[in-house]
């Protein structure tokens, strides 16, 4: 729990401050911005939703796009849940905890949880994730309130923090060789596919890049 109050929360807060500022600047209502942080809790999807809804994109296309940017949660949940699962643990606890799963919580948990006793893992994850969730909602509120007084330069800097955060954490925290290969493949293939098909680039780039990296690491392991 203490670990989540430090750097990850401060950094997430910066990203959501940026989101709040962006929502305000685009005339997106405060209540909807707060509701999106609480119910979606995934920065890329929220940004896509705000920008597309204000551009007048039809609702079906927005929901599909947001869902596709969230497809990354499937492999994350599939890998995290077996680590926290215990016999006799009610399934609803896992389904509830899954809502709080996001990039930060997943990366930190996959690193820390295996070091903990099986019985303590779920409470560690929930403590970490709930803290971050509350911080994100408050930061959205703060960013929205601050936006009117921030100059454009500072607002651009704040929005930049979101992707920069992912760039640093992925570069610095990925330990396995397979993970590093997957990052490199995704980083190259994702933007390339985006040039052809913006709506499908996140999902297709992940499947193609990830599968390629997996096959490559597997082939190397055998040789």
Partner 1 sequence: MPDAAPVALPTLYLFLLVLACGLSTYLWRGLGVLLSGRIAADGEFFNWAGCVAYAMIAGLTMRILLLPTGTLAATPLWARMLACAVALAVYLLCRRNLFIGIATGFVALTALLAMA
Distance in Å, CB of 147 to partner 1, minimum: 9
Distance in Å, CB of 174 to partner 1, minimum: 7
Distance in Å, CB of 1 to partner 1, minimum: 18
Q: Which alpha helices (H) appear in the chain, and where do they start and end? A: 2-5, 7-25, 30-39, 43-54, 59-69, 73-84, 91-99, 103-112, 121-146, 152-173, 177-196, 201-222
Interatomic CA distance for residues 102 and 125, integer angstroms: 11
Q: Closest CB to partner 1 among 52 and 138? A: 52
Q: Closest CB to partner 1 among 124 and 162? A: 162
Contacts 24+ apart (CB under 8 A), 79-84: 79/106, 79/110, 80/106, 80/109, 80/110, 80/113, 80/125, 83/109, 83/110, 83/113, 83/114, 83/121, 84/113, 84/121, 84/122, 84/125
Q: Closest CB to partner 1 among 124 and 147? A: 147
Q: Closest CB to partner 1 among 93 and 123? A: 93
Q: Closest CB to partner 1 among 76 and 124? A: 76
Distance in Å, CB of 96 to partner 1, minimum: 10
Quick check: helix, strand or coil at residue 85?
Answer: coil
Distance in Å, CB of 149 to partner 1, minimum: 12
């Amino acid at each position: 729990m203490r670990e989540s109050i430090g750097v990850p929360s401060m950094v997430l807060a910066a990203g959501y401050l940026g989101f709040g500022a962006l929502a305000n600047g685009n005339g997106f209502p405060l209540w909807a911005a707060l509701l999106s942080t609480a119910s979606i809790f995934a920065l890329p999807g929220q940004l896509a939703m705000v920008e597309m809804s204000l551009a007048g994109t039809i609702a079906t296309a927005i929901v599909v796009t947001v869902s596709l940017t969230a497809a990354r949660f499937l492999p994350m949940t599939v890998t995290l849940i077996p680590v926290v699962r215990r016999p006799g643990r009610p399934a609803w606890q896992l389904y509830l905890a899954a809502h709080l799963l996001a990039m930060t919580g997943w990366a930190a948990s996959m690193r820390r949880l295996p070091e903990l006793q099986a019985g303590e893992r779920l409470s560690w994850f929930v403590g970490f994730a709930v803290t971050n969730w509350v911080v994100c909602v408050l930061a959205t509120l703060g960013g929205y309130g601050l936006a009117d007084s921030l100059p454009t330069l500072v607002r651009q800097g704040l929005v930049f923090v979101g992707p920069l955060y992912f760039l640093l954490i992925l570069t610095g925290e990925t330990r396995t060789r397979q993970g590093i290969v997957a990052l490199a493949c995704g980083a190259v293939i994702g933007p390339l596919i985006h040039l052809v098909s913006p709506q499908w680039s996140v999902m297709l780039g992940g499947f193609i890049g990830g599968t390629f990296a997996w096959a490559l690491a597997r082939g190397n392991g055998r040789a």
